[in-house]
């Protein structure tokens, strides 16, 4: 009997301490500073590209642009040129305590950064040991993802083809354009860690690209650097080249062209009915939207009568992530290539002779209003725009009046 009791007590203590330990662990997970991604070798350090190619005095884009004017102008209008100056990025970076790790993709060259990374204080490589960089170039810093980030290796300009006409040393590098090519370094990085079930890397790039396209070769440049025929330098021979556009979420036309919309409105006698909008991603191999988890689409149905709004319904196409205590992708309702998604809205009976209007709006959001407020980002350009809109006038129709006469 006493033996039994002793074991029972012991067991109780063991269970209780296990529960307490687990609770302490969860509490720690809830309050600890959180590293939401894994630092991989691709971007753990700034790029040691520090001197111009043989034959040139400078590595600044503005100087490449003196000869390659058309490419320079396209690049200058792209988000790559604004990867550092972008006010949303600047605000977000300050909100995230200006961690050095952000710089390795947004201003990846060693001399774009005011400090050199000489080592790390932690195994996860989030705490670099820094020393002042005597060669820091504040002008190059402003250029963000500048030309030489993709083109310069070991003091030589890399290119998928070389004409022999350039004043700078060039070499052929086919790897630049194979698969994810030069884009992979920042856009297609992944890392595994026991507590991250997060399938998307920093700034949520296109790790999902193979989901909708099993077995298909991924070609970022085919869509983001469209072909054209023109000379590479003023007065040169025109040749087939690729434009340096990289259009994405900041370009409404690029987004609109990638989605097919089909609207079906069914009106019943008596005035009730249903609107069904079907969206299909026909233009991107990755999900739509892609990129940072900030981006999402909204599909809004709004029914208005003479006295104001009667009924509304909003669907959001986005990924939902649980951050604490563990990072888990909960669900993802973004558009996968060639997989149609339908959203429906029904309206109640309309009084005979009355009119109601149904407005259907699809918007692309660069970030949510709640996040804009939280990080105090004072946007000068809109944070969302319309990619589809339709207005339908609904009328209360006469009901079939069978038997009504007799009742009176």
**Tokens 């630049």 found at:** 176
Closest CA to 363 of 342, 386, 340, 346: 386
Please give the residues from 4 up to 23 whose contact with ligand HEC meets the rule CB under 6 A.
Answer: none
One character per residue 24-53, x = contact with ligand HEC (rule: CB under 6 A): -------------------x----------
Q: What is the distance between the alpha carbons of residues 347 and 305, in angstroms, rounded to a whole number? A: 11
390-406 burial by CB neighbour count: b if 16+ within 10 A, else e? eebebeebeeeeeeeee
Rounding to the nearest 10 degrees, give the CA dihedral for residues 183, 184, 185, 188: 120
* Cβ atoms 113, 107 nearer than 8 A: yes
Please give the residues from 185 up to 244 whose contact with ligand HEC meets the rule CB under 6 A.
Answer: 185-189, 201-203, 205-206, 209, 218-225, 231-233, 236-237, 241-242, 244
Stretch that binds ligand HEC, among 16-24, 169-177, 260-268, 396-404 (CB under 6 A): 169-177
User: Cα angle at 103 between 97 and 109, to 5 degrees?
Assistant: 160
Neighbours of 352 (CB within 10 A): 12
Nearer CB in complex with ligand HEC: 223/300: 223
Please give the residues from 308 up to 367 whose contact with ligand HEC meets the rule CB under 6 A.
Answer: 366
Stretch that binds ligand HEC, among 1-9, 55-63, 132-140, 390-398 (CB under 6 A): 55-63
**Contact partners, residue 8, CB within 8 Å, separation at least 6:** none
Rounding to the nearest 10 degrees, give the CA dihedral for residues 150, 152, 157, 161: -30
Omega before 289 within 30 of 0, i.e. cis:
yes
Neighbours of 112 (CB within 10 A): 26
Of 65, 114, 191, 325, the one binding ligand HEC (CB under 6 A) is 65
Report residue 27 as tokens. Answer: 């509490």
Q: What is the distance between the alpha carbons of residues 116 and 57, in angstroms, rounded to a whole number? A: 23
Based on the shown chain and the rule CB under 6 A, indicate whether residue 246 belongs to the binding site for ligand HEC: yes
* Residue 156 CB, nearest approach to ligand HEC (Å): 10
Neighbours of 324 (CB within 10 A): 12
Based on the shown chain and the rule CB under 6 A, indicate whether residue 390 belongs to the binding site for ligand HEC: no
Nearer CB in complex with ligand HEC: 34/322: 34
Distance separating the N- and C-terminal Cα atoms of the chain: 88
Nearer CB in complex with ligand HEC: 273/372: 372
Of 17, 27, 99, 269, the one binding ligand HEC (CB under 6 A) is 99
Of 10, 12, 51, 161, the one binding ligand HEC (CB under 6 A) is 161
Stretch that binds ligand HEC, among 112-120, 183-191, 300-308, 310-318 (CB under 6 A): 183-191
For residue 255, the Cα-to-chain-centroid distance in whole angstroms is 12
- Please state, in angstroms and as integers, the Cα–Cα distance from residue 134 to each residue in 115, 149, 276, following that order: 8, 20, 61
- Please state, in angstroms and as integers, the Cα–Cα distance from residue 180 to each residue in 45, 46, 95, 223, following that order: 21, 20, 31, 12
* Residue 211 CB, nearest approach to ligand HEC (Å): 12
Based on the shown chain and the rule CB under 6 A, indicate whether residue 104 belongs to the binding site for ligand HEC: yes
Of 49, 116, 177, 321, the one binding ligand HEC (CB under 6 A) is 177
* Residue 31 CB, nearest approach to ligand HEC (Å): 19
* Residue 398 CB, nearest approach to ligand HEC (Å): 46
* Residue 172 CB, nearest approach to ligand HEC (Å): 8
One character per residue 273-312, x = contact with ligand HEC (rule: CB under 6 A): ----------xxxx-xxxxx--x-----------------
* Residue 176 CB, nearest approach to ligand HEC (Å): 5
* Cβ atoms 2, 291 nearer than 8 A: no
Nearer CB in complex with ligand HEC: 255/368: 255
Please give the residues from 108 up to 137 whose contact with ligand HEC meets the rule CB under 6 A.
Answer: 108
Number of residues that bind ligand HEC (CB under 6 A): 100
* Residue 203 CB, nearest approach to ligand HEC (Å): 3
Residue 178 buriedness (CB in 10 A; 0-12 / 13-18 / 19+): middle
Stretch that binds ligand HEC, among 101-109, 118-126, 309-317, 396-404 (CB under 6 A): 101-109
Stretch that binds ligand HEC, among 68-76, 112-120, 272-280, 341-349 (CB under 6 A): 68-76
Based on the shown chain and the rule CB under 6 A, indicate whether residue 155 belongs to the binding site for ligand HEC: no
* Cβ atoms 236, 229 nearer than 8 A: no
């Amino acid at each position: 009997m006493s033996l039994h009791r002793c074991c029972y007590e012991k067991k109780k203590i063991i269970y209780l301490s296990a529960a307490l330990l687990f609770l302490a662990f969860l509490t720690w997970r809830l309050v600890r500073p959180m590293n939401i991604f894994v630092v991989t070798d691709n971007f753990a350090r700034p790029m040691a590209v520090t001197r111009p190619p043989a034959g040139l005095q400078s590595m600044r884009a503005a100087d490449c642009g003196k000869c390659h004017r058309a490419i320079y102008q396209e690049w200058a209008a792209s988000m790559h040129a604004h990867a550092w100056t972008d006010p949303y990025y600047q605000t977000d970076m300050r909100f995230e305590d200006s961690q050095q790790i952000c710089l390795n993709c947004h201003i990846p060259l060693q001399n774009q950064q005011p400090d050199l990374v000489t080592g790390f204080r932690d195994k996860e490589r989030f705490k670099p040991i820094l020393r002042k960089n005597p060669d820091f170039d504040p002008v190059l810093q402003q250029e963000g993802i500048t030309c030489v980030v993709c083109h310069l290796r070991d003091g030589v300009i890399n290119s998928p083809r070389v004409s022999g006409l350039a004043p700078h040393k060039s070499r052929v590098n086919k790897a630049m354009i194979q698969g994810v090519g030069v884009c992979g370094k920042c856009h297609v990085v992944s890392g595994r860690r026991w507590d991250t079930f997060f399938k998307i890397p920093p700034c949520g790039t296109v790790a999902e690209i193979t989901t909708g396209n099993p077995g298909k070769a991924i070609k970022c440049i085919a869509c983001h650097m469209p072909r054209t025929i023109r000379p590479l330098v003023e007065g040169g021979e025109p040749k087939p080249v690729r434009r340096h556009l990289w259009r994405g979420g900041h370009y409404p036309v690029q987004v609109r062209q990638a989605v097919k919309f089909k609207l079906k409105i069914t009106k019943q006698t008596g005035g009730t009915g249903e609107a069904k909008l079907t969206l299909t991603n026909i233009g991107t191999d990755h999900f739509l939207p892609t990129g940072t988890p900030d981006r999402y689409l909204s599909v809004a149905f709004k029914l208005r009568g003479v006295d104001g709004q009667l009924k509304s319904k909003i669907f959001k196409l986005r990924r939902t992530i649980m951050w604490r205590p563990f990072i888990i992708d909960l669900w993802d309702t973004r558009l996968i290539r060639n997989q149609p998604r339908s959203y429906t809205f029904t309206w109640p009976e309309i009084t005979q002779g009355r009119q109601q209007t149904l407005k259907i709006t699809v918007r692309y959001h660069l970030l949510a209003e709640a996040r804009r407020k939280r990080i105090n980002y004072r946007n000068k350009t809109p944070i969302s725009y319309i990619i589809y809109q339709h207005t339908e006038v609904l009328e209360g129709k006469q009901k079939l009046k069978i038997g009504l006469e007799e009742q009176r």
